Amino acid sequence: MRLSAIAAVLSLTPVAAFAASDCRVTGDPAVFGVDMTAYFATRSGETCNFAMRIPGAMHSSGVSQKPAHGTLRQLNVTTFRYTAASGYKGNDKFAIYGQGKGPYGSGRSVMTVNATIE
């Protein structure tokens, strides 16, 4: 009885409450073996997912430089989750890398990401 009550409560929990929206990113087209720069804006205390989209196969990835005014967590080989520090407004910067092979190149690419926190 107790187990079914817990399951019933969990099934009523909205999934959207745990989901983060995608960061709206602008920047240069991505190619393996070439460093890139990207930009996005978010609000203080908010979270968004940041995907490193490079045509081809990504073999490895990670964080090269942590943000100074937020947190960055790697979700999988192509996706990272950024959370802006609550109460902070201004600029933040971090860098991520991806290594792989695509139709236009291969190797390691570092993406420097500039975030505007509103």
pLDDT score recorded for residue 19: 67
Could you give the CA distance from residue 76 to residue 43 in angstroms, rounded to a whole number?
A: 24
DSSP string, 30-61: P-TTS-EEEEEEE-TT-EEEEE---SSEEEEE
CA triple 113-35-58, angle to 5 deg: 90
pLDDT in the model for residue 20? 82
Listed by start position, the domains of the chain span: 20-117
Q: How does pLDDT run along the chain (118 residues), one tens digit per residue?
A: 444 433 443 444 444 445 689 988 898 888 999 999 999 999 999 999 989 989 999 999 999 999 999 999 999 999 999 999 999 999 999 999 999 999 999 999 999 999 999 9
**Under a CB-based contact definition with an 8 Å cutoff, are residues 53 and 29 in contact?**
no
- In single-letter form, the type of residue at position 24 comes to R
**The CATH number of domain 20-117, selected from 3.30.70, 1.10.1740, 2.40.50, 2.60.40:** 2.60.40
**Would you state the pLDDT for residue 15?**
41
pLDDT of 11 reads 41
